Structure 1
Amino acid sequence: MREQGGPAWIALAGALALAACGSEPAPAPSATPAAPPSELPDAPPSAEPEPSSAPVISTSKTASAVSATYAPQDECADKPGWPTFRKALGSAIKGRDVEGMAALASADVTLDYGGGSGIAELKKRLTDPASGLWKELDAILPLGCAVEGGLAAMPWVFWNVPDDIDSYSAMLVLGDDTPLLAKPGGKAVGAAGWQIVGIDPLDFAPKAPATRVTLRDGGKGYVETERLRSLLDYRLIAEPKGGTWQITAFIAGD
């Protein structure tokens, strides 16, 4: 939903939400004209598709592969000005540099869905230990960067969630080797690293040692709770402005 006075990324998020509500994308144009029916060759009766040798890693928003994983990717590195911005961002976060972060943000940076915005408010929150914003920024840095409509989003998964996923009841499993457990503290019964898994949001306890999850293929088990990250957790949105990148939102929720 686009809020009055909100940045361009909110409009983009609204367009993506409409797509998730049932509209079907237009078919991609063919590179060459289709042959008339009379000219189409007959396929052998027993012809089967060739098996794919590509790794099962999805970067699309479709649910074509239930075993897809969503390890961080960097789609921003080759964008003009991004390397300089990313280096400055990392330095400011590592040094807990409030003024450095403020210099990277737009004047109307959005900070919540209740109207919180602006440089002064950003500084106030960064200097408040109770806000935990530095910890949230630490967590975002290694999770990649996605691009949509010229805007950048960190973490990468934020703009790469399949359309059939309800972000309120799903989480990303962090780590390459995170196992699926038979029970809390039990033996590993499978791999869960970088998968999007379903949870019961009403039963989720952030301090519990493990959380019961459902894999996309229907498998069930437990994952250590500290290895789970909400799909609606904090994300940083940046836009190219005046030859550089500026943070236009640092926000959680929906």
Structure 2
Amino acid sequence: MAPALALALTACQREPAPQGSDSPTASAAATPEPTPEPSAVEPSPTPTLALPVKPTPEAPMTPADTAAALPALALPPRDDCAALPGWSAFAAKLATAVKTRDAAALAALSSPDVTLDYGGGHGPAELQKRLSAPAGAAVWADLARILPLGCAVQGDLVVLPWFFWNVPDEVDPGMTMLVTGQGVPLRAKPSDTAPEVDRLDWALVTIATDPPFDPAARYTAVITGKPQRKGWIETARLRSLLARRVIAERKGEDWRISALVAGD
């Protein structure tokens, strides 16, 4: 596997950003203050939440939920790949293969060592086999959802969807999802007729810990950024940051799929 691809496959393992000289930590180090006696230390106040609607029994705000809430951030799809040499022709072939569910055509667009999972699955023959099996229908459907979500570039590598390489470092990919679409209702209860708390546009949201996440449920409890709100979104409108992605590598003007993986 090329070093650049190996780096791309581990993109979720991030290091904290270094602190600058004018950061709170640096200032504290430069001007030390006397340490208060243990009895004088007061706990930090609990942040207050500005809720537009009264919390319902079905969607309470909990301390764990509050700590997990994200800053307000939207990641609408972008296409950073269109101008790359050879990409348009490759992307057209990829779209046709996905639309027609042509396993042989998709395998032909893949590199000889294409990575299919983190357990050792690889190769065009294995890819074609998996796509041709009954379980392959779910993969085809997911690929059809991926293609409209944009494309990002890192050197000679690209990734679909675009957001995968553009999520802030501080975001927990295991607890965060992207709302896919504009004006997606955030409801007060898990019901199509429940009042709308807000409408979200390609926003990152945190999965609420209560109730636990159920991918089969019609609605999922989430927490938005600032102002922090808890509500319910149709599960079908959410996409995990660790969901399946397509990574392709360029050699000259020739492109090949290097990885078709999900997870971290």
Q: Say whether the fold is shared (TM-score over 0.5).
A: yes
C-alpha distance after superposition, 1:9-67 (max 9, x if no partner): 222454x556x32143999xxxxxxxxxxxxxxxxxxxxxxxxxxxxxxxxxxxxx932
C-alpha distance after superposition, 1:189-243 (max 9, x if no partner): 1122210100047811112121110112222111111111111000000010242
Instruction: Give SS of 1:73's match.
Output: coil
Q: Using the alignment, how far apart are the partners of 2:12 and 2:130 within structure 1?
A: 29
Instruction: Give SS of 2:95's match.
Output: helix
Counterpart of 1:214, as a letter, is I
Q: Using the alignment, how far apart are the partners of 2:83 and 2:252 within structure 1?
A: 18
**1:163 match:** 169
Pair 1:246-2:242 in alignment: no
**1:88 match:** 93
Q: Using the alignment, how far apart are the partners of 2:176 and 2:73 within structure 1?
A: 14
Q: Using the alignment, how far apart are the partners of 1:191 and 1:180 within structure 2?
A: 6
**1:191 match:** 199
**1:11 match:** 7
Distance 1:176 1:101, change over 3 A: same
Instruction: Give SS of 1:71's match.
Output: coil
Pair 1:78-2:83 in alignment: yes
**1:234 match:** 244
**TM-score, normalised with respect to structure 2:** 0.75
Pair 1:98-2:103 in alignment: yes
Pair 1:119-2:127 in alignment: no
Q: CA deviation at 1:81?
A: 0.6
Q: Using the alignment, how far apart are the partners of 1:108 and 1:26 within structure 2?
A: 42
CA contact (8 A) 1:109 1:248 kept: yes
Aligned residues: 211
Q: Percent identical across equivalent pairs?
A: 46
Flag as ranges the 4+ runs of structure 1 deviating above 3 A.
Answer: none
C-alpha distance after superposition, 1:142-190 (max 9, x if no partner): 1110112331000011001111110000111111121111111111111
Instruction: Give SS of 1:248's match.
Output: strand
Counterpart of 1:208, as a letter, is A
User: Which structure exhibits the higher relative contact order, with contacts defined as CA atoms closer than 8 Å and separated by 6 or more residues?
Assistant: 2
Counterpart of 1:163, as a letter, is D
Q: Using the alignment, how far apart are the partners of 1:197 and 1:248 within structure 2?
A: 29
Counterpart of 1:189, as a letter, is V
Q: Which blocks of at least 5 consecutive residues in structure 1 are unaligned?
A: 28-64
